[in-house]
Amino acid sequence: MGRLLAPPLAAFLFLGLLLPSLLALVPRAQAAETPAYIALGDSLAFGVGVSDPSTGSYVALTSDVLRTSERYRERGLQLINLSAPGATSGDLLLPDGQLDSAVKEIRDRQQDTSSADDNVEIISIDIGGNDLLSLTSRESPCFSDSAAEACLQRFGSVLADLHDNLTEALRRLREAAPDAGIFVIDLYNPYSGTGNPLEPIAGLAVQQLNGVIGAVSADAELQVKMADIFQLFQGRGRQWIAADGLHPNEKGYAVMAEVLLAAIQGRQVSIPADLLAETPAPVAPPSDGSVTADSGSGSDGDSLLLLAIAIPVSFAAGLLISGAYFLARGRSG
């Protein structure tokens, strides 16, 4: 009798030892089947301005809503937030930086033959505000003489570098993930509707920066979509901006998330009524006293106009006017 029971008992004990290992494979298989959303950017994607950036940023809010959508309710969606406060467009391209990490994640998932449904399907980027901060550094020719030709050239280089860096980042992302949806978020004027003396000048500077971002995003070969928040934030500086006066608060990030979601889902933006309950404050008209250079025509004229607005001859005034927004945006927190 004992001899008859020995083989079944041995098999049972063997299965008992093997079962935990087999069960351990199940969660990993399920996780490998989950598609991903990668976010790149600066303090906005990170979530500076709210008490818990991990849940209150526009990136986190967007991913939470997507997980409950028909597209991802059963499949799931993994958020990979690579953003870093203070990041510039050049930082995106650093070795082992955000872009390298994103491309590696994309390729690793593509090469995972154990799963057919774990690719990166959504990519978002917000960047550019910190690029202008370089004009106020001690190494910048604008620090000692903002009216010098070297400062003019440096300013043009900042805009050109933003254009080239963003283009390169989007090109590499598109090459790595040809089927993913790539979305670029523009910038807002945090002073809009506040009556702050910086309001009109910051508004013009942000629009110029958005012009560069928009021009890159319009490249048909990149196949990216813009999520335009600038107009929605007009007159809402006291309503949607955090106590630091620069980053969005909970309401501001909710608006950004809705704009991004609308772009991802290919629908019209629908801001919740409670966020629009307050009437936007009047927006200050562009300042006409600070422009001292002939705007001319074409891109050179645009650069001179922005320089005259954002970096007056007095460096101290330039730092106060143009640097206040760009210095804190992405650097604090």
State the CATH number of the domain containing residue 120: 3.40.50.1110
End-to-end CA distance of the chain: 73
pLDDT confidence of residue 100? 98
Longest dimension (CA), the chain: 105
Q: What is the three-class DSSP state of 201?
A: helix
**DSSP alpha helix (H) spans, 33-148:** 43-46, 53-56, 58-67, 89-92, 98-110, 141-144
| 274 occurs within a structural domain | yes
pLDDT confidence of residue 31? 45
| 310 occurs within a structural domain | no
Q: Report the domain count for the chain.
A: 1
Distance (Å) of CA 168 to CA 43, 89, 129, 173: 21, 10, 18, 9
pLDDT confidence of residue 319? 37
| 13 occurs within a structural domain | no
| 332 occurs within a structural domain | no
| 24 occurs within a structural domain | no
Whether residue 183 has pLDDT greater than 90:
yes
| 18 occurs within a structural domain | no
pLDDT confidence of residue 28? 36
Which residue, chain included where needed, has tokens 């949806």?
181
Whether residue 87 has pLDDT greater than 50:
yes
| 28 occurs within a structural domain | no
Structural domain boundaries enclosing 259: 34-133+159-279
